[in-house]
Every structure is written in structure tokens, then in C-alpha cells.
Amino acid sequence: MFKANGSNQHQINYQRIATRLYLLVLLIPLIVISFYLLLNEDLQQKIISQPSEFQYKELEKIYSSNLYCPCSTVSMSYSTLIMIEPYFHQVCSSDLISDAWINYIKGDDVMNDYFSVFDYQNSGVFHFQLLSLLCQHAQQTVNISIKTFLQTQFLSSQVTSQNQFEAKINSSINDWKSQTIDQFLETIKIFQAVSHGNQLASELSHYYFPYIHSNDTKVNPEVVEYLNCSCALSSCLISIGLYGDDVYYLELPQLFIKIPNFFLGCSQIEGLMKSTLECFYNLSCMIEFDQYIFFPLGSSFNFSNLNENLNPPNETMESIINRLMIDSWTSNISFSSYYNTCSPSSCTYQYISRNDLFFVITTILGICGGLSLGLKLLTLIILRFIEKTINNNSFNGFITMIKNLFICNTEQRIINRLHFIFLLLILYFIFLFSAFKPKLVTVQIIKPSLSKYKDLLKDHSYSLQCSCSQISIQYETFLNIEPHFHDLCSSQFISDEWIHYIYGEGHLSRRFSFDDYRYSAPGQFLSLSSLCKLSQEKVNRTLTQFLTSYFMNSQLLSENLLIEEIEIILNRLQLTASKSFINLFNLIREIIGSNMIMSAWVTNWEYVPQSEFSAYLLARTAPLSYGECNCGLSFKCTQSSGGMMSGCYPLESILQTKLYCFYDQNCIDLNGNFTRLNMSTLAKSQYNLNSTIGLILNNLMIEKYKSNLSYENYFNRCSPLSCSYSYIKTHDVTQTIISLISLNGGLVLITRCLAIIVVQIYKHKKNRIKSEVLQ
């Protein structure tokens, strides 16, 4: 009895030890896993379907850096987003550009031989006609440009914040304004340059013609000088007012009264741009001046003055023209229209958080089910081994116990053994299938640094993708471009000293004939100087507009890809800029040449007096010829002259001149006062000695662009939220074991049921066979 009690007591202690050991072994990994799950921070993601504008703005305040709302409509017209309205200077709607005013001051004759060309009654009408033309041209340019701009598309792959949206739209509007103004002014500047170099004659010519005697066979004009300023070389000004009826051109007549800051220049546009309209802001000034006119110029004076409360009276017309005759712009930007057009179907935002308690509990319960059976079996085997070893004091007892495991003398034992075998087989096959099956693994890195990105790029260049937090980046934040112009545009051959030097050598003198390049050389080098200046302005303006524009890309580009992309963009930019300039330049050339406007250099047409008149002879015009080419048929006629070219117009001559003369001292200047270009620079030049000035101008006088790209600045501006890469993993034992532990709880039940079913089927068939045998 004592032994039995002792045996029971020993059995109870053994059971307690097994239970406590099992709980201890089970709790330790569960506690460790629980702390890991509770303290682990993970990137969480949440999706909101069909967000309203209000919802988006609230989310943008909290998750601005991690909010992603893809647009259902990526491209949208500016006309749906903004309204633009210009307000022109008051002069463009005033009496001063009306037909009534122009006819009033014009009177019966456009040019009155009784008055000087500087007199208001001769030159004033042309100022207001030109002013009216500029106003009309400005309004047409703006209206067409607004219509074109509003038809262009605004691209947005995802919703941007209201501040960013308005900043981008304002930037686009400012760029568009700048381009429109530049296009308007470029036409004026090119025309001025062509006109000045070719010295185009007009009704208000800055050249005059001396008296023609009966024995003269040719008329050579002489240049007008305004207060010792020569129009052939400079832009000269003289006040417009009421002058005495002195000789028309030969000398400056007496000035009775002048209009304040109202000038006549060597060309009409030059005089107008330097003038102000301050007299025309004051009605008393207008009436007083009108009363001094010697000959009444029409009906009674009934015109309104300009309002000095709207504009400063002393503002020059050049300042007004430089802003496209516009005082102000109004623009209305609608973020609501943008959001409704974009119409995001969903918004996704990411945030970093720890696992909540419910997730930890459910995960622990799932793992616990898998660990419990394995730990229980392991604990029982270990304790039974210890017990047998202690009782038998040998290892044979444990061996006997192992053998007893394979003895199936009862139905329950058969079920247990089959259960264990099925479980092991299923786990084994799942392990083989999962651990060694190739699978695509995607890894995500949150907000990588530049060094981390470069490391990832080395190892996963083919699959690495990084999404930029900013899809539009200003070029100037990571790119610097420096243009290098041809040596001619920084040489002494475009300087005033050189132009004055060659003007003194051969200025319209009888020393050289018209087909000698020195005859029109001042006009050629004036044209070259203007072309260099216009090209530099065009290039610098284009680069400024480009660098303030945005590079659009939602994905971070590698350094090599970014450099290739920038090179393609720069080549396209250079081609576009040069084409737009050359097209306008050639259009003005063709208009002037096709209309056969006479050059005051007398290189395309000459004046031939009519011999039958005895005094104050009239003259007719006759075209000049260069070789077999007649200027009456083609304005591009030229011929070689001492290494340079002479032709119908100085501009056409310099465009067809080759470079080799500029590198030859004997060709360019035998006196040695000015030295040739450095021959050593030709080795690095893309042009050779046979290249023409026109060819260089086709590239806007550019030798090359030097660009400096900072990839670090680009990366920082892109500021990728995350980078992801994929790779093929052939085996993952650790993850497979963890998965098997999670599956173990369910597999125990399945294999248990399977073992029972197999035993019952076997038992049923065995009983059926026995009954058949007995029968």
C-alpha cells in the first residue's frame, strides 16, 4: 500500500514537473515574440476611396510627405484652371492713336517742304502712326498668345497641394509672359539691327542729298549729323518741336518751342522709344502747343489728354513697349477646378506605427497553436527519457521506450502513430515545396539616403525603382549651363573703335567703288556687332527661361540616365531657339529685300540725275550689279572683294563672308592697328576657315555649351519616399519554418481526422473480410 501511494505520489510530481517545464518552454519564446511585435515599427498604408477636396486638404495637412492621390485625368487644359486678362496702357485706348488725331496733325500733306524734318508738323504724325501700329500689334500678340497658352495642357499625375499647384501655375504664367514679351521685342530688335546695318532709307531719312548740278552723273547721299552725332555709326536724337522755315535738310533751323522729351531719332522707332508723352498728359500743354502751329492743321481742337493718375507722365515709351504696352495682368487660379478635373479615385497615405494589441494577441495565438504540440511532445520525450534513465540507470530503458512507440496493439495507438506520420510527411513536403521554390521577393526601403541609393543601384540596377516626392524640379536647382560664343563675338571687330576706324578709311568716299567691301564695311561690321548682341541676348534669355522651368519625372533617374536626358533636352532647346530666331530673322530680311528698300550706303540702288533739267534736278534709281547678279532681281547678290564680300546689302555681304580673312593679318588690316583672330583657337572650334558668318549665326554664334550637373542636388530635390527592388530567392528555410509553425495548429487537426478516417476504413474493411470468411 505504501509502495502504491509512493508510486502515485511520484506520478503526481512527474506530471507537475512536465506541466511546469512545458509552460516555461512555451512562455519564453511567446514573451520574446510579444515584445518584438509590440516594439517593432512598421510602415502602415491606408486607402481612402473617392476623397473629396475637403478630405484631401485635411490629409495633406497631416500626411503631406506621404500622401499619394493619382489623378484619373492626367492632362488638363489651362483654360479649365485659370483666367488671364491684360490691362493695356491708356495710350492704346486714347485719342492719340485715333484716326481723328493723326489726320488732325497730318493736315493736307504728310511732308511739308516749308518745315524742317525735325518739325512737329512733319515728324509728329509718324510717331503717332507708329504708336498706333505698336498698340495694335501688341494687342494682337497678347490675344493670340493667351489663346494659345490656354489651349496647352497642364500635366499632373497626382494631386499636388494647393500651394504647390498655384506656385507651378504662377511660374508657368510668368514664363509665358516673359516669352510673349521677348517674342514681341525680338521682332523690333531684329528689325532695328537689320535697318541700322543696312542703313535703310525712309521718308524721314537720316541721310540728305546735296544739290545736283547738271554735270553730275551720280548722286551720293551725305549723312545727317544731329549735334555732331552721326547716324551712320550711332543712335542720335534731336528734340521735336516747332522750328523756323529754314532749309529742309542742310542745317538745324531755329527752334521756337519744343515738346518736352519728344524726340526724333536716326530711325522712327529709336526716336519714339526714347520719347515720353508728358506733354500729352497736360491738356494745357497740348492746347498751347496747338496754338503755336503756324498753319492750321484741320478742325478745332477737341481731344482728351492722358490721365496722370493712371501712369507716370515721365515714363519713356521704351519702358512701356518693353512690357508689351501692358500696365498690369490679372489671373484667377482655381484649385477646385483642378481637383475636380484631376478627380482622384483614391488617396493612399503611409505612416509609421507600432503593431496594435489586437494584432499582437491574434499573432501570438496563431503561433501558440503551432508551438504547443511540438513543445509538448518534446517535453514529454525529454522527461520520459530522464525518468527511464533514473529508474533503469542505463540507456537501455530509453531505447525500449522508443521501440514501444512503434508497437501498435490498440486502435488508439494506431491512430496516434498514423497522426504523427501524416503530420511529419505533410510538414516535410510543405517544407520542400516552400523552402526551395524560386519566388520573387520585393524589398522596400523607406527614405533612402544618397549613399544607400548608390549601393542599391550597384546591386539591383535592373529592378530598382524610387518614387520622387517631388515630380517637378526646377532645372536651376541642379543644373548650370554656360554658353561659349564664337571668338568673333568677343573680338575687336565688333568694337566701336574698329567700326570708326574702317568708317574713316572708306566712308562713302570716292576712294573706293561700290563693289569694294571697304565701301560698305562699316555697315557690315555694324551688322556683325548687332548679330552677336542679339544672339547673346537670345541664348541668355532662352537659358534663363529653361532653367526656371521644371524637369518632370515621377521616378528617380540614375546619374547616367539623367545626364543623357539633359543632353537630349539641351540639344532640342538649342535647335528650337536657333530655329525661332533664324526664321524671324530671315522673314525680316525677305520683307526688306523683296520690297527693294534702298540702302543709304548706295550698294543696291543708285541715284542717277535726269540731265534734261537745268536746276534742282530730279533723280531716278537704277539697280547695281555684282558680277552677273543684278540687285533689281535678287537682294542677295554678292561678290568676293579682298577676302571679304561686297553685295546689295551690307548684311547679306557679311553673312556670306568666310572666316579665313579674320585670321589673316594682311586681309583684315595691313596697317596692323588691329590684330587678327588667334589661329590656335581653331583647333578647338567646330568651325573651319571656310565657314561663313551665316553658318555660325544658324547656331546663334555658339561654339558649345558647358553644363554642370549636381546629382546630389537633384536627388535631394527628388527626395524619394521609398525605393523598392525585386530579386529571385531560391530558398528561404527560416521563413518556411516560421510558416510551418503557424500552420502546425491547423495541420494537427487535419492529420488527426485523416488518421481516424484511415483507421476506421481499415477496420471496416477488416471486419467485412472476416464476415465473408466466416460465411
* pTM exceeds 0.85 for this model: no
DSSP state of 270: H
Distance between CA atoms of residues 58 and 188, nearest Å: 51
Distance between CA atoms of residues 167 and 182, nearest Å: 22
Q: Where are the beta strands (DSSP E) in 528-609?
A: 550-552, 605-609
- Structural domain containing residue 449: 444-470+714-729
Residue 32 belongs to what H/E stretch? Answer: helix 2-39
Residue 301 lies in a domain: yes
> How many distinct structural domains can be found in the chain?
3
Residue closest to 715 by CA, chosen among 577, 583, 559: 559
> Is residue 156 within 8 Å of residue 342, measured between CB atoms?
yes
pLDDT of residue 203: 62
Residues 313 and 449 in one domain: no
- Residue type, position 615, single letter: A
> Is residue 427 within 8 Å of residue 747, measured between CB atoms?
yes
Residues 228 and 375 in one domain: no
Residue closest to 572 by CA, chosen among 546, 553, 552: 546
Distance between CA atoms of residues 269 and 129, nearest Å: 11
747's grid cell: 495541420
Residues 265 and 316 in one domain: yes
Residue written as cell 504708336? 131
Q: Name the domain boundary from 276, 310, 327.
A: 327
189's grid cell: 530688335
Residues 461 and 429 in one domain: no
Averages of pLDDT over runs of 10 residues in the chain (775 residues) are 44 58 67 65 77 91 83 91 94 92 72 62 84 94 94 87 88 89 92 89 60 56 71 82 56 69 87 92 85 56 90 94 94 93 88 66 64 61 62 58 62 70 70 64 83 88 83 89 93 91 65 82 93 95 88 87 91 91 94 89 82 55 91 93 91 94 88 87 90 94 91 91 78 60 64 74 73 67
Residue closest to 720 by CA, chosen among 65, 6, 50: 65
DSSP state of 682: G
Rg, Å, the chain Cα set: 47
> How distant, in Å, are the alpha carbons of 17, 302, 539, 704 from that of 379?
10, 117, 84, 81
Distance between CA atoms of residues 694 and 659, nearest Å: 10
Query: Which SS3 state, helix, strand or coil, does residue 155 take?
Result: strand
Q: Give CA torsion, residues 181, 184, 188, 190, to 10 deg.
A: 90
707's grid cell: 553644363
Give the CA angle between residues 444, 446, 451 to the nearest 5°. 100
Residue closest to 427 by CA, chosen among 60, 761, 747: 747
Residue 488 lies in a domain: no
DSSP 305-367: PP-TTTS-TT-BHHHHHHTTTEEEEEEEE-HHHHHHHH--SEEEEEEEEEPPHHHHHHHHHHH
Residue written as cell 510558416? 739
DSSP state of 656: T
Query: Which SS3 state, helix, strand or coil, does residue 64 take?
Result: coil
Residue closest to 748 by CA, chosen among 372, 431, 261: 372
- Helix 357-392 crosses helix 2-39 at what angle (to 10 degrees)? 150
Residue written as cell 478745332? 300
SS3 content of the chain, % helix, strand, coil (to 5): 55, 20, 30
Residues 313 and 239 in one domain: yes
Residue 588 lies in a domain: no
Residues 269 and 130 in one domain: yes
Q: Which residues pair with 599 in a beta bridge?
A: 200
Signed CA dihedral, 286, 291, 294, 295: sign only: positive
Contacts of 216 (CB under 8 A, 6+ apart): 609, 617
pLDDT of residue 515: 84
Residue 492 lies in a domain: no
Helical H segments across 205-298, by residue range: 268-274, 283-291
Residue 638 lies in a domain: no
Residue 186 lies in a domain: no
Residues 256 and 126 in one domain: yes
Give the length of the chain.
775
> How distant, in Å, are the alpha carbons of 409, 415, 566, 766 from that of 770?
19, 21, 90, 6
Pairing mode, strands 237-243 and 605-609: unpaired
Residues 256 and 310 in one domain: yes
Residue 237 belongs to what H/E stretch? Answer: strand 237-243
Q: Where are the beta strands (DSSP E) in 89-236?
A: 153-155, 207-208, 222-223, 225-226, 229-230
Residue 72 lies in a domain: no
DSSP state of 266: S
Contacts of 249 (CB under 8 A, 6+ apart): 117, 208, 209, 224
Residue 232 lies in a domain: yes
> Is residue 371 within 8 Å of residue 26, measured between CB atoms?
yes
Give the CA angle between residues 19, 24, 28 to the nearest 5°. 155
Residue closest to 70 by CA, chosen among 345, 467, 350: 345
Query: Which SS3 state, helix, strand or coil, does residue 712 take?
Result: helix
pLDDT of residue 41: 59
Distance between CA atoms of residues 687 and 163, nearest Å: 48
Distance between CA atoms of residues 478 and 432, nearest Å: 52
516 by Cβ neighbours in 10 Å (0-12 / 13-18 / 19+) ranks as middle
Residue written as cell 586681309? 667
Residues 143 and 106 in one domain: yes
293 by Cβ neighbours in 10 Å (0-12 / 13-18 / 19+) ranks as middle
> Residue by residue, what is the 3-state secondary structure of 179-217?
HHHHHHHHHHHHHHHHHHHHCECCCCCCEECCCCCCCCC
Residues 253 and 362 in one domain: no
Residues 235 and 103 in one domain: yes
Residues 131 and 245 in one domain: yes
Q: Name the domain boundary from 305, 327, 349.
A: 327
Query: Which SS3 state, helix, strand or coil, does residue 223 take?
Result: strand
Query: Which SS3 state, helix, strand or coil, does residue 371 take?
Result: helix
Residue closest to 298 by CA, chosen among 128, 100, 467: 100
Q: Name the domain boundary from 327, 346, 365.
A: 327
- Residue type, position 244, single letter: G
